[in-house]
């Protein structure tokens, strides 16, 4: 098997600032325990506030070695890094059996994601239907407010300057 050396960037967004730091450290530590991944170098950046929100964002840069192409693919799906760059090898030579294994693993994961999505959509629809039965007034569509009709402007009456005696 060919080892794959790569750089990864993992990003996180949340609040409070301390939680963002803890969560990112936890993710990096978990990656470090994966048996087919070896962290060579890591740099975890301090969280920064996101403008006009109460959220913070931070990221970690990892240099890692994957024991196989499959562990590389699994890591991408499991940790969803915002960026991955393979450093070496420059070219990969894989057997059709290994490519089949990877293709089937990807397909299986996509089917699981699809099943979860369909389940969540069905559940949402069920709750919306129940809510509609219980509180139909929440679903009444109101006509958009119409602009008030313009009042016709009448010319102002000129006041006479005649003095009454």
- What are the sequence ranges of the domains in the chain? 4-92, 94-133
pLDDT at 76 over 70: yes
* Burial tier of 20 (Cβ tally within 10 Å: 0-12, 13-18, 19+): buried
How big is the CA angle at 13 (ends 50 and 80), to the nearest 5 degrees?
140
Predicted confidence at residue 153, as pLDDT, reads 61
Predicted confidence at residue 164, as pLDDT, reads 52
Predicted structure pTM score: 0.70
State which fold the 4-92 domain adopts: Alpha-Beta Plaits (3.30.70)
Predicted confidence at residue 135, as pLDDT, reads 87
Predicted confidence at residue 152, as pLDDT, reads 65
Predicted confidence at residue 94, as pLDDT, reads 87
Predicted confidence at residue 107, as pLDDT, reads 94
Predicted confidence at residue 138, as pLDDT, reads 81
What band does 67 get if pLDDT is binned at 50, 70 and 90? very high
Predicted confidence at residue 160, as pLDDT, reads 56
pLDDT at 41 over 70: yes
């Amino acid at each position: 098997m060919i080892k794959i050396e790569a750089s990864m960037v993992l990003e996180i967004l949340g609040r409070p600032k301390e939680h963002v730091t803890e969560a990112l450290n936890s993710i990096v530590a978990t990656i470090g325990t994966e048996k087919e991944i070896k962290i060579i170098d890591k740099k975890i950046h301090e969280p920064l506030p996101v403008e006009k929100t109460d959220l913070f964002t931070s990221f970690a840069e990892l240099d890692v070695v994957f024991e196989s192409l499959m562990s590389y693919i699994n890591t991408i799906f499991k940790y969803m890094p915002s960026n991955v760059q393979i450093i070496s090898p420059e070219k990969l030579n894989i057997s059709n059996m290994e490519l089949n294994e990877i293709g089937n693993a990807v397909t299986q994961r996509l089917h699981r994601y699809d099943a979860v999505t369909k389940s969540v959509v069905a559940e949402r629809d069920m709750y919306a239907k129940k809510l509609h039965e219980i509180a139909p007034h929440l679903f009444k569509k109101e006509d958009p407010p119409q602009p008030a009709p313009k009042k016709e402007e009448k010319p102002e009456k000129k006041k006479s300057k005649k003095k009454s005696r």
